[in-house]
Structure 1
Amino acid sequence: MTPAGPGPALAPRWVRLPPRRPALRVRASAERLAAAALCSLGAAWVHENHDPGALCPLRRLTGIPCPLCGSTTVFMEAGAGHWSAALTANPLTVLATLLFFAVPLLQLDPIQSWAGLPRAWRLGPLALVLALSWVWQLHRFGLL
C-alpha cells in the first residue's frame, strides 16, 4: 500500500550552503548590505543630479509599467533615506533584497532550492507574485 499525499520526490527540499562559522555568515550579509547601500547612495546621487527618467522600456514606450517597474526607484529612495517611498515603489524588490541579505545567515541556496521544486510549484507562485506586482504597479501609476 502506498502512502497518501505527495511522496518524497514532490516534497520541497531546501538546499543548504556549505557550513560556515556564524561570524563569516554575518560578515557575508554585512558585505552584501554595504554593497547595496553603496549602490543605493550612488543611485540617489545620480537621480538628484541627473534624473534619467523612466528606465523601464515598456513604460517608456507605452506608459504602462511592468511588474518590475520601481526597482531602481527602490534603491534611489532608500539611498535618499525615504524608506516608505522605497517600500511603496516596488515591495517585490524590497522582499528580494531582504532575501539577498538573509541567504548567508540562513545558509540556504535559493537558486538550487528553487530549481529542485517541481515545475508547477515554481511557475504557479512565480506567476502569482508577478501578477500581484503588476497589479500593484498599475495601481501605483493610477491605471487601475
Structure 2
Amino acid sequence: MLRRMYSVPEHITMAALGAGLIGAIYPTIMAHTGGRGLSCPLRALTGLPCPFCGLTTATVALTHGEWAAAASTNPLVYLAAALVTATTPILAARFLGLAPPPRPWSAAARARTRYSAYVVVALSWLFQLHRYHFS
C-alpha cells in the first residue's frame, strides 16, 4: 500500500503558508510593478462572485494585522489561518522525521470531511453574494 508523506490538511497548510508569505509581500510587489492586483475570473466573466472572492485581499489584510478588513472581505481566511496554526507543528515534525506518516482516513471520515467542505464553501458563497449585494 502506498503511504502519503503528508495528509490533506497538511497539503492545505503548505498552500496556505505559501499564500501567507505571498500576502505579506504582495502590496510591495504591486507598488513596485504598478499592477492592479488579481481579479476573480468568475466575477470578471459573469459578474457573480465565487466563494473565494476576496481571499487574496483577506490574506494580505490578515498578514498585515488588519483583522476587521480580513473578516469583512472573506472570513474563510480565518479557517485557513486556524488550519495553518493547528497543523504547522505536525507538518514540521513530519518534515524533520519526528512524526510518522499520516494514517489513511476511513471512508466515513472522508465523506464527513467532504460534506463539511461543501457546507463551508456554500456558506462562503452566500457571504460573497451578500457582500456584493446579490439577493
Pick the TM interval, shorter chain.
0.5 to 0.7
RMSD (Å), alpha carbons: 3.4
Does the CA contact (< 8 Å) of 1:92 and 1:133 recur in 2? yes
- The answer on whether the counterparts of 2:70 and 2:77 sit within 8 Å (CA) in structure 1 is no
Report if aligned partners of 1:65, 1:138 keep a CA contact under 8 Å in 2.
Answer: yes
Bigger-Rg structure (1/2):
1
How many residues are aligned here? Answer: 112
1:69 Cα deviation after fit? 0.9
Letter paired with 1:128: V
TM-score normalised by structure 2 residue count = 0.63
The aligned counterpart of 2:23 is 40
Question: Contact (CA 8 Å) 2:58, 2:77: kept in 1 or not?
Answer: yes
SS of residue paired to 2:49: coil
Partner of 2:129: 138
Scaled by the length of structure 1, the TM-score of the pair is 0.59
Higher mean alpha-carbon deviation, 70-79 vs 59-68, is at: 70-79
Q: Distance in 1 between matches of 2:133 and 2:54?
A: 14
Residue of structure 2 equivalent to 1:23? none
1:104 aligns with 2:76: no
Aligned residue number for residue 10 of structure 1: none
Distance 1:85 1:91 in 2: 9
What 5-or-longer segments of structure 2 have no aligned partner?
Answer: 1-5, 7-15, 95-101
Identity %: 36
